[in-house]
């Protein structure tokens, strides 16, 4: 059963990467931007990282569903054109790690 779940995670990541690449080529015309933070990508990244890292705290949904959805959302931001999405990913990871640390202290 574990191998099947890992396969689902991998498929979710690949589909998210393809989706992110297709959406970003439609949205961004310039090949590389360093200064702008995309708010939509930031929100997707924060939600994805929270679902993936903090899945043990979300008890109303089984962990493999939250991780699969989180990996898909993270992969959308990872799959954005080169030069885009790195700040969004970093901010999303930091926010999720802070929430995870707070959750660990409360338990």
In this predicted model, what pLDDT tens digit does every residue of 40-76 receive, in sequence order?
Answer: 999 999 999 999 999 888 888 888 899 999 999 999 9
pTM, whole model, 2 decimals?
A: 0.89
Is the model's pLDDT at 81 over the cut of 70? yes
| Residue of 16, 12, 95 whose CA lies nearest to 54 | 95
3-state secondary structure of 98: helix
DSSP state of 54: T
Residue 33 has pLDDT above 70, yes or no: no
Which H or E run includes 56? none
**Per-residue pLDDT for 1 more than 70?**
no
Instruction: Write down the mean pLDDT value for the chain.
Output: 89
């Amino acid at each position: 059963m574990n191998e099947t779940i890992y396969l689902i995670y991998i498929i979710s990541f690949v589909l998210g990467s393809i989706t992110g690449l297709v959406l970003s080529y439609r949205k961004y015309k310039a090949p590389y931007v360093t200064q702008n933070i995309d708010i939509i990508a930031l929100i997707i990244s924060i939600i994805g990282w929270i679902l993936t890292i903090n899945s043990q705290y979300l008890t109303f949904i089984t962990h493999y569903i939250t991780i699969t959805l989180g990996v898909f959302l993270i992969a959308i931001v990872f799959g954005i054109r080169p030069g885009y999405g790195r700040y969004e990913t970093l901010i999303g990871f930091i926010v999720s790690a802070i929430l995870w640390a707070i959750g660990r202290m409360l338990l």
